[in-house]
Structure 1
Amino acid sequence: MEQNKDIKALLILSFLFLLFKIISIYFSKLGLHGDEAQYWVWSNNVAMGYFSKPPLIAYVINFFTSIFGEAIYTLKYISVIFYLGTSFLVYVLSRMVFNERIAVLSGLTFFLLPGVSFSSFIISTDVLLLFFWTLSLYLFLKNNNMPSILLSFILGVSLGFGFLAKYAMLYFFLCSCIYIIFDRSFSKIFFKNIKYNLFTFIVFLLIISPNIFWNISNGWITFLHTYDNASLNKISLNYINFFEFLFAQIFIFGPIIFVFFLLYLKKFISFEGRILFFSCYSVPILIIIIIESFLVRAHGNWAAVSYVGLTILMVFFLENHKFKIILFNNLFSLFVGFLLFFLIVGDYKIRVFEQLRGYNSFSNSVLEESKNNNIQNIVVEDRMVYSLLSYYLRNNNLNFYTPKASSNIVSNHFQIKNGLPDNFSKNFIYIGLDSHLDYLKTDYEKKLINKVDINKVKKNVNIQKFEIN
């Protein structure tokens, strides 16, 4: 009874935290990150694919902004909504496999993870990936226990949307193969339902096919970027990258649950059906990313999809005999979450938030120079600055370009759609290094018209005027 009261209290505190999160985002003076602004720009130019990411993030932003407007808080709320949905799916999945009590604790624990709290303030592809990963786990189990054409179709759509969120969704197929190999009883069920599973795979292929065709027509550009981002061509032992990845996991999970995860590692190696299922959909991914962190590099979020299975299993292992550990862990996570959003709404001068400051003011400086010099063409070298200026100056009828010599390799999506041609023959305002414009054939006279410190990270940014001689 006492433990049930603790769970109810935790539910109430979590609801209050959700309200505080919503209020903090609404009143926060922090701006967008360059990547977030880039996704917004993409959402205004809907396509089957983009240079660095699959297209779902752009579709989702386009859907929300067409209904609720383009304010920063509207964009940020997308993450809050999807994390709520993912937490609910963690609850539903856990209830199907275990019981109501473990389900409630699993959903709460996932929702309160420090990494989830931090990511709730960021528009990212991981937010969508985690939602469709968790939904696919639930549907995969349900469809093989109670197969139907409808469930098979929905599962195929979910897998396809997960892939269109982030290519890391392909881990799902690797993990499924491992699970089918090691769980013989499930293997029999899977092959008994093979026609349903094949139908799911066909639906998946149909959903992702437009993006595949887009990649083919653009030289597999997104896949090549993903490969380059993984730095698989620069293999060498690097212990620093490993420890950076390790510390990132401590932050994402929180130190308490992370310590018990290390203590309970042996429990993950089990052929008991329920444990094996979640282990197969988390441990292999973690192993792959750990190896990658040793050999090349790995960002903390690269193992994101493993967090669902790991969280559920840790709650299962601790719930019976170490309930207070779960309770204390979640209270600590609540404290971290409240502190984080207190800092967000309080506009405290913390370095981690510096990249979110100053761009609104900088955009006004660029707009002022544009009006003073009667120039509507803005050329920006850096994709982050390009994206942020495009967002903050979205209502001012300006034309944005980025340098792109025809002989150079494409380095971002704007060079595909908004590259400055070598025969461009209009006056423009330029933000960037002069050397990136050496390819222009038109004779221009350049003049420095302003120098701005955007924030403590990006200083002495030149705003130049290029006039035709």
Structure 2
Amino acid sequence: MALDEMARSDSARAWRLTLILVGALTLFRVLALFLTPLELYPDEAQYWLWSRHLDFGYFSKPPMIAWLIWATTHIGGDAEAWLRISSPLLNAGTALAISRIALRLYGDQRGGTWVGLAAAATFSLMPGIQLSSVLITTDTPLLFFLALTVWACVALPAASPRARVWVAAGMGAALGLAFLSKYAAIYALASLGAHLFLSRQARRAWTPAMAVAFFAVLFLVFAPNMLWNIEHHFSTLEHTAANANWKSGKLFNPLELVQFVGSQFGVFGPVPFAVLAVGGLLLAARRRLAPADVTLLCFALPPLVTVAAQAFVSRANANWAGASYVAGSVLVAAWLLRWEARRWLVGGLALQAVLAAAFLTWVINPRTAEAMGMANSFKRARGWDQTVQAIIARAKEEKAGQGLTAVAVDDRFLFNVAAYYGRDYFGTSKAPPLRMWVHEIAARNQAEAEAPMTEPLGRRALIASLEGTYRGKIQQDFAATSDLQIVSVRLDRKRSRRTDLFIAQGFAPVPRDPVTGLPPDTPWKAGK
């Protein structure tokens, strides 16, 4: 057999194996969604609530996640699995796009036939992707559209002059959709700028017509969300900026930086993140970076460096650097194959495959997680339905008596899950309206902004205080309150969730402090 025919045969075999791997993982994850007894996380319930009223933006996030939930729940209904099902499907699409990026950039290097499979496996078995495949989060569509953006970027130099304008327009559309998923897409703009600055080949590939096509399509796709933000006083952008939290606590936090870097070994995977960090430093120091390496480092480094700096001056969540996963997966696979470190590649992937199997086992049967000491990881996805049903039962009891003007909660998590697990009750003619007690002088979340407690609705309200945290402050806002009923829901052998229920009458909120925005202090403490 000729060498070219052998190469084509190996490439076809590698692509088939990639499809089998990604397809099998996706099938297992979809099955886990329909088999798991785990309930929605409160943020997922919030996204579902948004999807009931489609818009171009929401209080804390762009609209893509609500659009996805709207689409999948219109197909299968409002069960938890149908809320989440777009996540494993989008992650599969991202993995396949990553495979094509890897082949485009490294298909000609030694071992390049298998680089697409290795990159797709590195991404698909990443612990962070395992988690995001059984939840509905904004990171999942973000990574999918970023992968399409990077794919278009690396395809530009090989495209014909006429096709390049269309590729640039497609890249603008993909990046615009990434912005509609999560504002972390801003890193991609910085990455493209860095790539143009560092790569003469990239600068030669672009023409003024391509730049116009790219930015025009990007603006057209993203403009509706910007207009929504203007109409809503930039609430989403302000909430995103507020997450930085630079004004609270010490300005420099080395421990936060160490914790963030350490968390990346857990999110990206121990071997892949070590290869990405150490390999990038060594290759840069020795000036042995290939042009393809430079391209992908331009996409991988800005999120990691920026979020690490954020962790140092304030705090940062582990997933905030998720925009680096796409390029990072390709780099890790390409470098390990280039260095002929196949044992490290196979060993790292085998370790993550074991973790993936264990995680899916925990999701399907949470008792196994409890037996292995991992129950704490799932506590926010358990016990909500039981809590909400207890609130509804108390509301029905009061309805049969003097009646209620509202059911009010003091925590956005509880509001979101009450809206979801009480969807067959709240909003019906038999139910009092579900409302949110506003803690500060201004709304801090969408529930407080769109469903605040008001004086007419507070004539006689059932109050549900999660863990009793704000019970004392709530009581200050009412003329009279009833005796306390405590609802305790067991989450696992060690943990339970408490909700305080009581009737409050005569809502007349005390003035909030104009400086802090908070109600006055009270000697009452939670649990007393």
Fold similarity call, TM over 0.5: yes
Q: Contact 2:21–2:121 (CA<8 Å) still a contact in 1?
A: no
In terms of mean alpha carbon deviation, does 231-240 or 197-206 score higher?
231-240
Q: Cα–Cα, structure 1 residues 62 and 270, in superposed 2: closer, same or farther, change >3 Å? A: farther
Aligned amino acid, residue 244 of structure 2 = A
Q: How far, CA to CA, are the matches of 1:184 and 1:388 in structure 2?
A: 53
Q: Which residue of 1 aligns with 2:142?
A: 129
Q: Contact 2:39–2:80 (CA<8 Å) still a contact in 1?
A: yes
Q: Which residue of 2 aligns with 1:448?
A: 484
Q: Cα–Cα, structure 1 residues 189 and 77, in superposed 2: closer, same or farther, change >3 Å? A: same
Aligned amino acid, residue 122 of structure 1 = L
Q: How far, CA to CA, are the matches of 1:152 and 1:15 in structure 2?
A: 30
Q: Contact 2:461–2:503 (CA<8 Å) still a contact in 1?
A: yes
Q: Cα–Cα, structure 1 residues 115 and 301, in superposed 2: closer, same or farther, change >3 Å? A: same
Q: How far, CA to CA, are the matches of 2:146 and 2:272 in structure 1?
A: 22
Q: CA deviation at 1:465?
A: 2.3
Spell out, residue by residue over 1:85-123, the C-alpha distance to the aligned partner (whole angstroms, 9 max, x if none).
110110122122222421121112111112211221221
Q: Which residue of 2 aligns with 1:347?
A: 366
Q: Which residue of 2 aligns with 1:404?
A: 438
Q: 3-state DSSP class of the match of 2:243?
A: helix
Q: Which residue of 2 aligns with 1:48?
A: 56
Q: CA deviation at 1:315?
A: 0.8
2:419 aligned residue (390, 393, 397): 390
Q: How well do the aligned residues superpose, as a CA RMSD in angstroms?
A: 2.6
What does 1:309-320 align with in structure 2 at a 5 Å threshold? Answer: 309-320=327-338
Q: Cα–Cα, structure 1 residues 68 and 210, in superposed 2: closer, same or farther, change >3 Å? A: same
Is 1:256 the counterpart of 2:275? The answer is no
Q: Contact 1:114–1:254 (CA<8 Å) still a contact in 2?
A: yes
Q: 3-state DSSP class of the match of 2:39?
A: coil
Q: CA deviation at 1:80?
A: 0.7
Query: Structure 1: 5+ residue runs without aligned partners?
Result: none
Q: Which residue of 1 aligns with 2:519?
A: none
In terms of mean alpha carbon deviation, does 240-249 or 141-150 score higher?
141-150
Q: 3-state DSSP class of the match of 1:430?
A: strand
Q: CA deviation at 1:217?
A: 2.5
Spell out, residue by residue over 1:131-182, the C-alpha distance to the aligned partner (whole angstroms, 9 max, x if none).
1111111123334543455433332221111111111101111111111001
In terms of mean alpha carbon deviation, does 223-232 or 454-463 score higher?
454-463
Q: Cα–Cα, structure 1 residues 15 and 157, in superposed 2: closer, same or farther, change >3 Å? A: closer
Q: CA deviation at 1:459?
A: 3.3
Q: How far, CA to CA, are the matches of 1:143 and 1:70 in structure 2?
A: 41
Aligned amino acid, residue 37 of structure 1 = A
Q: CA deviation at 1:216?
A: 2.0
Q: How far, CA to CA, are the matches of 2:124 and 2:18 in structure 1?
A: 12
Q: Cα–Cα, structure 1 residues 289 and 124, in superposed 2: closer, same or farther, change >3 Å? A: same
Answer with 1 or 2: which has the greater Rg: 2
Aligned amino acid, residue 362 of structure 2 = L
Q: 3-state DSSP class of the match of 1:170?
A: helix
Q: 3-state DSSP class of the match of 1:466?
A: strand
Is 1:178 the counterpart of 2:191? The answer is no
Spell out, residue by residue over 1:26-49, the C-alpha distance to the aligned partner (whole angstroms, 9 max, x if none).
111111111111111111122222
Q: Contact 2:86–2:136 (CA<8 Å) still a contact in 1?
A: yes
Is 1:461 the counterpart of 2:499? The answer is yes
In terms of mean alpha carbon deviation, does 355-364 or 251-260 score higher?
251-260
Aligned amino acid, residue 451 of structure 1 = V
Q: How far, CA to CA, are the matches of 1:301 and 1:31 in structure 2?
A: 21
In terms of mean alpha carbon deviation, does 52-61 or 251-260 score higher?
251-260
How many pairs does the alignment contain? 464
1:75 aligned residue (62, 76, 83): 83
Q: How far, CA to CA, are the matches of 1:220 and 1:439 in structure 2?
A: 32
In terms of mean alpha carbon deviation, does 289-298 or 62-71 score higher?
289-298
Q: How far, CA to CA, are the matches of 1:287 and 1:438 in structure 2?
A: 46
Q: How far, CA to CA, are the matches of 2:377 and 2:173 in structure 1?
A: 37
Q: How far, CA to CA, are the matches of 1:296 and 1:134 in structure 2?
A: 29
List, as ranges, runs of 4+ consecutive aligned residues in structure 1 with deviation greater than 6 Å. 3-11
Q: How far, CA to CA, are the matches of 1:88 and 1:118 in structure 2?
A: 19
2:348 aligned residue (329, 333, 357): 329
Q: Which residue of 2 aligns with 1:162?
A: 178
What does 1:206-285 align with in structure 2 at a 5 Å threshold? Answer: 206-234=220-248, 236-265=251-280, 266-267=282-283, 272-285=290-303
Q: CA deviation at 1:22?
A: 2.5
Q: Which residue of 2 aligns with 1:293?
A: 311
Spell out, residue by residue over 1:334-380, the C-alpha distance to the aligned partner (whole angstroms, 9 max, x if none).
10000011111112231111111111111111121122211473211
Q: Cα–Cα, structure 1 residues 302 and 389, in superposed 2: closer, same or farther, change >3 Å? A: same
Aligned amino acid, residue 488 of structure 2 = V
Q: 3-state DSSP class of the match of 1:404?
A: coil
Q: How far, CA to CA, are the matches of 2:310 and 2:134 in structure 1?
A: 27
Aligned amino acid, residue 341 of structure 2 = K
Q: CA deviation at 1:186?
A: 1.3
Q: Contact 1:270–1:276 (CA<8 Å) still a contact in 2?
A: no
Aligned amino acid, residue 343 of structure 1 = W
Q: 3-state DSSP class of the match of 2:312?
A: helix
Aligned amino acid, residue 386 of structure 2 = S
Q: CA deviation at 1:18?
A: 3.7
Q: Give the TM-score taking structure 2 as reference length.
A: 0.81
Q: CA deviation at 1:445?
A: 4.6
Q: 3-state DSSP class of the match of 1:411?
A: coil
In terms of mean alpha carbon deviation, does 341-350 or 165-174 score higher?
341-350
Is 1:431 the counterpart of 2:464? The answer is yes
Aligned amino acid, residue 59 of structure 2 = F
Q: CA deviation at 1:60?
A: 1.0
Q: How far, CA to CA, are the matches of 1:55 and 1:240 in structure 2?
A: 34
Spell out, residue by residue over 1:296-345, the C-alpha distance to the aligned partner (whole angstroms, 9 max, x if none).
11111111111111111111111141122211211111100000111111
Q: Which residue of 1 aligns with 2:217?
A: 203
Is 1:364 the counterpart of 2:389? The answer is yes
Q: Cα–Cα, structure 1 residues 202 and 149, in superposed 2: closer, same or farther, change >3 Å? A: same
Q: 3-state DSSP class of the match of 1:21?
A: helix
Q: Contact 1:445–1:468 (CA<8 Å) still a contact in 2?
A: no
Q: How far, CA to CA, are the matches of 1:115 and 1:404 in structure 2?
A: 34
Q: 3-state DSSP class of the match of 1:305?
A: helix
Q: Give the TM-score taking structure 1 as reference length.
A: 0.91
Q: 3-state DSSP class of the match of 2:283?
A: helix
Q: Which residue of 1 aligns with 2:96?
A: 88
Aligned amino acid, residue 292 of structure 1 = Q
Q: 3-state DSSP class of the match of 2:327?
A: helix
Is 1:189 the counterpart of 2:205? The answer is yes
Q: Which residue of 1 aligns with 2:515?
A: none
Identity of aligned pairs, percent? Answer: 23
Q: Cα–Cα, structure 1 residues 132 and 33, in superposed 2: closer, same or farther, change >3 Å? A: same
Q: 3-state DSSP class of the match of 1:53?
A: coil
